[in-house]
Amino acid sequence: MSADDARDRDRESALTNGDARAVVSAATGDGGGDRRPSTDEADDARGELATLRRENARLRQRYEALRTGRYRQTAVALAGLGVAGLIGGALFPPVRETLVVLGAIGLFAAAVTRYLTPERFIPVSVGSSVFGAHARNHAAVVDELGLQDAAVYVPDEARDSVRLFVPEHRDYALPDAESLRDTFVVTDDELTRGVAFDPSGGGLFDEFARSLDGPLGDDPETLARQATDALVELFELAETATAETDAADGRLTVRVENCRFASAETFDTPVASFVAVVAARGLDAPVVTEVTAGEETDFAVTCRWEVEDGDGDADGNESSVDSGSETAREVEIPVTGETEAEAEAEAEAEAETDER
């Protein structure tokens, strides 16, 4: 029995030691497993990041190649058309002139398409985010200084530019051109104090002026037509733009639908700023601008300016009307007198007849 008990104790001891070694081994394996995956995961993450960067670079190169390839394909097609036109001109003498002209146009268009670098476009969201930061900074300056909610676009003839003036007082007066060239307009006259900025529409106007076929208009109707065409066709800042003008009242209103850049609440919003700069440069007069929000991306831009006093012309017209009325009265008076005399003569003749 003692031998059997000894063997049982040895067996239990061995099993116990084996379980302990298994537990220790398992614990070591788990701990080592926790450490190794952390290192492996970091390596995997770095590898995936490097892979994503390479893939991103490859996709950018692929996109650039596709974009450039479209222009090359178009250039090849135009060149083929030009060569075909020249060959056709050689083979068909009756229509040689027409085919030669078509061939020359095709070759010229192919050369322009091939060698002119395609323009790069910035997404609207990127441009809006960049402009929005500057607009918020300007609006914060205006609010913290306690300035008025008024925007006056003043032309500067000496520099062929326009400055946006925000006055300090409600009953303000415009400072001189030299004072407006400072950002903070601090003059001896309190009514002319405020801040002045370069309007966001200034750069748009420069691009617009370069694209004009003729001179800039000098009347509200022409300026309204040119500004709305540029907003929709040239800059594509809005889907539609319609204008109403009242030259006698000194007012120009542009209604914009589906504005694609900024909003009516944005300080110096580009659409309103561009319209105001066009009006100020064309009329060569300060323009007060008001933006009225509509539904979603629709709003109206109203520009007002002082109209030159036309009382002299009005008085002249009134005086001419009055003189005409006096002439009419002078003509009517003799006619009325002759009628009364005839009536008296007839009455006397009737009286004599009765007496007889």
- Does this model's pTM top 0.75? My answer is no
Backbone angles phi, psi at 258, to 5 degrees: 55, 60
The mean-pLDDT minimum among 161-165, 242-246, 291-295, 322-326 falls in 322-326
* pLDDT > 70: percent of the chain: 73
Task: Please state the domain extents for the chain.
Answer: 2-115, 127-304
pLDDT tens profile 148-176 = 999 999 999 899 999 999 999 999 999 99
Check residue 150 and give its pLDDT.
94
Check residue 74 and give its pLDDT.
84
pLDDT tens profile 217-265 = 999 999 999 999 999 999 999 999 999 999 999 999 999 999 988 889 9
Q: Is the pLDDT of residue 27 over 60?
A: no
Mean pLDDT of 59-87: 81
Q: Is 114 exposed, middle or buried (0-12, 13-18, 19+ CB in 10 A)?
A: middle
Backbone angles phi, psi at 265, to 5 degrees: -80, -10
Q: For residue 26, what pLDDT band results from cuts at 50, 70 and 90?
A: very low
Q: Is the pLDDT of residue 285 over 80?
A: yes
Q: Is the pLDDT of residue 308 over 70?
A: yes
CA 335 – CA 331 distance, rounded (Å): 7
